[in-house]
Amino acid sequence: MTRRLLLVSNSTLHGGGYLEHCQQEIQDFFGKQVTRILFVPYALHDRDAYAKTAREKLQSLGYEVDSIHEASDPVEAVKKAQGIFIGGGNTFRLLKTLYDHDLVSEIQKRVLQDGVPYMGSSAGTNVSTFSINTTNDMPIVYPPTLKAIGLVPFNINPHYLDHNPQSKHMGETREQRIQQYHEEPDTPSVLGLREGSMLLVEGDKATLLGSTKARLFSRGKPPTEYEPGSDLSFLLAEGK
């Protein structure tokens, strides 16, 4: 089966509503063959409210939504899912809860072996990658490992922010923090997804979608910029 991923930087773009900026891509991605989507709200504390928000939006696009936190058996819910959407929030809380419920390997199997389409936004994008080492979030809880679901062999930094030369803030820029990560040995590439951008993966093909450029960081190399529409399939061959 072919892996299919829609990895979105952010769920809300300035000036629009929840998932509004990517709703066409969502419909193109899930299509008509998916009628029900399994939503994973573990990244936020109020799961009921989060599920309500996701349910209302996805229903408006023609999809029924089951929230995994309402299931008596979360693993069984993943086994039956036609499509999976993991929303944003705190990446550490999200990954810890996925491990707590033995869902990491099950989601990986459903997506990579069974071809179940996977959509992530923000933290949901982070956990789909090699590891969560390059998340922007605070470690408010401790997952057993920073290793994530591994649907792609590289990392993503959602909400990537460029340095503002007008700013008086003297802390590290996002670029400097990613470069610090690459000072460690054997660290994979990091794709900085600015708000408004997303990565579509279909099998061994990866395409940058959305309205903003992405910035790619690879260990020992200068950063490079990619326009929407760029073919980033070479990232999928990392580590092979």
For residues 208 and 232, the answer to whether their CB atoms sit within 8 Å is: yes
Rounded CA-CA distance 84/112 in Å is: 13
- Which two structure tokens, joined as six digits, stand for 61? 């696009």
In 3D space, the residue among 101, 170, 102, 158 whose CA is nearest the CA of residue 127 turns out to be 158
Query: What's the chain's Rg over C-alpha atoms?
Result: 17
What does each of the 240 residues of the chain score in pLDDT, given as a tens digit? Answer: 689 999 998 877 766 787 888 899 999 999 999 999 999 999 999 999 999 999 999 999 999 999 999 999 999 999 999 999 999 999 999 999 999 999 999 999 999 999 999 999 999 999 999 999 999 999 999 999 999 999 999 999 998 877 666 766 656 788 999 999 999 999 999 999 998 899 999 999 999 999 999 999 999 999 999 999 999 999 999 977
**Catalytic residue check, 21:** no
Q: Quick one: DSSP state of residue 147?
A: B
> d(Cα 207, Cα 228) in Å, to the nearest integer?
8
| Contact assessment for residue 175 and residue 217, using Cβ atoms and an 8 Å cutoff | yes
Query: Which one of the listed residues 159, 182, 218, 233 is annotated catalytic?
Result: 159
User: Does residue 11 have an active-site annotation?
Assistant: no
Catalytic residue check, 169: no
Nearest to 215 by CA among 183, 187, 238, 193: 193
Q: Is the pTM of this model over 0.75?
A: yes
The one-letter code for the residue type at 27 is Q
Q: Give me the pLDDT at residue 78, please.
A: 98
Local structure of residue 187 (DSSP, 8 states): P
Structural domains of the chain, with CATH: 4-237 (3.40.50.880)
Active-site option among 9, 67, 121, 122:
122
Among residues 9, 67, 131, 137, which one is catalytic?
137
